[in-house]
Amino acid sequence: VYKRQILLSIGYAACHWCHVMERESFEDRATAEYMNEHFVPVKVDREERPDIDAIYMEAVQSITGQGGWPLTVFLDPDGVPFHGGTYFPPDSSRGMPSIMTVMEAVVQAFEERRDEIRSQSENVRTRLGAVALVSAPQGDLDPALPEERAAAIASSVDLDHGGFGPAPKFPPASVLDFLLARGQTEPVEVTLDRMAAGGIYDQIGGGFSRYSVDDVWLVPHFEKMLYDNALLARTYVHGWQELGHERYRRIAIETLDWAVNEMRDRAGGFYASLDADSEGVEGLFYTWTGSELREVLGDRANAVMEAFGASDEGNFEGRNVLHFPSGVPPAALDDELATAAGDLITARSERIRPALDDKVLCSWNALMITALAEAGAVFERPDYVETAKQCADFIWDEMRDRQGNLLRSWRQGEARLNAYLEDHAFLLEGMITLYESCFDPAVFARAVAVAETMIDRFADPDRGGFFSTSHDHEELIARRKDIGDHPIPSGSSSAALGLLRLADLTGEARYRRHAEGVLKLLAPATTRQPGAFGHLLQALDLYFSPDGEVAVVWPDGAGRQTAEPLIRAYRERYRPRTVLAGGPQGSSSPPLLEGRTTPAGQSSAFICRDFSCRAPVTEPAELSAGLAADRTS
C-alpha cells in the first residue's frame, strides 16, 4: 500500500529553534489536527540516531541548498524524501511559508504527482548512498598533503578575531590540533585567545557554548554541549604544552571542572547538553543587566563591569554577555575579580536553570574520557584520570548488551540503541589515551577489543573505509560512510587515527592497513575544504610523519614513581605523532613493552621507530633531547 506520506521532524534537546517550532507550530491545535489527518508524524532525536539525521540532512541540503535543525522532511510511505526544509513558523509573517502552507502544498503534490514521486525514489536512494559506493583510489597517498593542507588552512585564519570564515563561528578544535602538530602556532594562539576571552566562554562558570552568532566570539548560541567542551578542553591542554600560556591551562581546567561538577551522572557517565533557554528566553541564565550586576556587586560594580566588558546599555538585547574586551583572557583572575565572579555565580545559582538533557551518549563520553585522561596526565591531576577511568568503566559495564556489543544511549539506568562507528572509534581513541595516562594493561585490552569489534562489524572490505552503521544494523534507505569532521570528528577519521596509534603500540600491520583504507578513500575530499577535515588531517599527519614510539620501563617491584621524571619529560610537549607505553620490566602488554629491560636497575625510556629501539636513556634531559631531534628531523 502506497498511501500516506511521513512528516519527519529531527531535532535535539538543546536546539533553541526546535523548541520554538514545537511550541509555536506542532502544539497548535489546527496544525496538529491537519498533520495527524494527512501524515504519519515521526519525531527523532538526532543525537541518538545520527544515521537517520545524516541521510535526511543530505536530502534537505540537496533540495533547498541549506540545512539545520529543526530538520523537517516529507517522506513517501517507503521513507524516501521528496521535500523538506528546516524551521517553519506558524504563519507567514516572518517572510517564510507557514507550516500549514507547506503541509497543504505537500499533500496536494503527493496526490497529484504520486506516481512521479514513486518513480524517482530509487534514484534518490542511490544518490543518498553514493558515498558508500566510492572505492578508494589506487596508488600511494601524497606525502606532501598534510603540509599543503596546513598552509591552506593557516592562510584562511581571521588574524584579528581568530577562527575561520564569517559568522557564525564554530570552535574549530580538531583543526587547531592539526595546526599545532604542523607548527602553525599563530592561527592557534589568536583563536584560543579570542574564544577564551569571548562570550562563547562562560567567564564565571566555565565551559563553552556551542558557537558564536557573530565573528568576534562575543554572543554565543548559549547551549552547552558535552562534545564541544571535551574537544576544546583537550585543545587548550595542547595549547599550554606548545605555547606555555598559563591562561590555557586555566581554561582547560575550568572547562573540565564544569563538566565534572555539572554534567556528570552519579553512575559515572556524562550528560549530553544544557539548553540555551531558560524561562523561554535564550541566554537569560548567563546574561546580566547593568542593574543586576550593580545589585550583586555594590561598590565594586564599575570596576568589575569594565573588566568584563559590561555596561548599563548591554551588548546583547539590553543584557550583558561577560567577556574580556582585550581579546586575551588573564592567566588567572585577580583577587577582586575572582571574588566578584564567585558572588555572581552565587546569584546566578538562584535563577531558573536551563533544561538538562540527561541522556548519556557513548561517543561523547568517549571524547570526555580522552580529555580527562590527557589533562590528568599532563597537569598531574590524578582525580581527572580517575574520573576518566570511572567513565570508561561505566561504558564497559552499563552500555553494552548481553553479547558485549556497545550501545549508543543510556538514561536513568537503561541503555539502548545499537552503537555507531563514531561510538566505537571515539572509544578506541579514549581507551588508548586513558592507557597512556595510567598504563593499565586492562584498559589497553579494552582498546584492542573495541578495535577488533569495529573492524568486524563496520569495515567495508570491498571499497575500503568503514560504514557508519554496523553490518547487523537495521536497514535504512541508504547505508552511509562518515566524511567531514565538523562539528565533531567523523567516525571514519577517528577510526583511522585510533587504528594508527594502536598499530604503533602493537606492531600489528592489519590495523594500519584498515586506517590506510580510510585515508585513501577520504584524502581527496580535503582538497576543496581542508578546514572541514581537521581530524582526518591529524591521521594523515601521523601516517606520513610518525615520530615513533616511546616505552618507559621501571624495575619490577620498584614502582612507577621511579619512572615519573621520564614520563614527565615526555609530557612536557604536545606529541601527537608519538605513542607512549609504560610498565614494569617483563611487561608484554602492549607489545611495545615486550623485551625491554632496565639497565643497572634504573627506570629507562626507549625511543623506537617501528619497534626498532635506540639504546635506553635514564635521564629526562636525554629523553627530551632525543624526542626533540625526532620532531625536527
In the chain, the amino acid numbered 281 is V
Asked if residue 5 lies in contact with residue 74, where contact means CB atoms within 8 angstroms, the answer is: yes
* Parts of the chain with a pLDDT under 50: 1
Element (H, E) at 526: none
Residue 577's φ and ψ, nearest 5 degrees, are -105, 20
Residue 176's φ and ψ, nearest 5 degrees, are -65, -40
Helix/strand/coil (H, E, C) string of 127-176? HHCCHHHCCCCCCCCCCCHHHHHHHHHHHCECCCCCCECCCCECCCHHHH
Collect contacts of 110-114 with beta carbons under 8 A, ≥24 apart.
110/5, 110/76, 110/82, 114/2
What confidence tens digit (pLDDT) does each residue in 405-447 have? Answer: 999 999 999 999 999 999 999 999 999 999 999 999 999 999 9
What local confidence, expressed as pLDDT, does residue 95 receive? 75
Sign of CA dihedral 91, 95, 99, 101: positive
Asked if residue 421 lies in contact with residue 362, where contact means CB atoms within 8 angstroms, the answer is: no
Q: 608 by DSSP, 3-state: which?
A: strand
| Cell numbers that stand for 511 in this block | 590495523
What local confidence, expressed as pLDDT, does residue 566 receive? 98
Q: How many residues does the chain have?
A: 633
In the chain, the amino acid numbered 349 is S
What local confidence, expressed as pLDDT, does residue 569 receive? 97
What local confidence, expressed as pLDDT, does residue 633 receive? 57
Report the C-alpha gap between 216 and 193 in whole angstroms: 11
Closest CA to 506 of 453, 596, 579: 579
Asked if residue 146 lies in contact with residue 544, where contact means CB atoms within 8 angstroms, the answer is: yes
Asked if residue 46 lies in contact with residue 12, where contact means CB atoms within 8 angstroms, the answer is: yes
In the chain, the amino acid numbered 266 is R
Helix/strand/coil (H, E, C) string of 74-122? EECCCCCEEEEECCCCCCCCCCCCCHHHHHHHHHHHHHHCHHHHHHHHH
| Cell numbers that stand for 313 in this block | 546599555
In the chain, the amino acid numbered 464 is G
DSSP 308: T
Asked if residue 627 lies in contact with residue 570, where contact means CB atoms within 8 angstroms, the answer is: yes
What confidence tens digit (pLDDT) does each residue in 162-178 have? Answer: 999 999 999 999 999 99
Closest CA to 208 of 258, 164, 246: 258
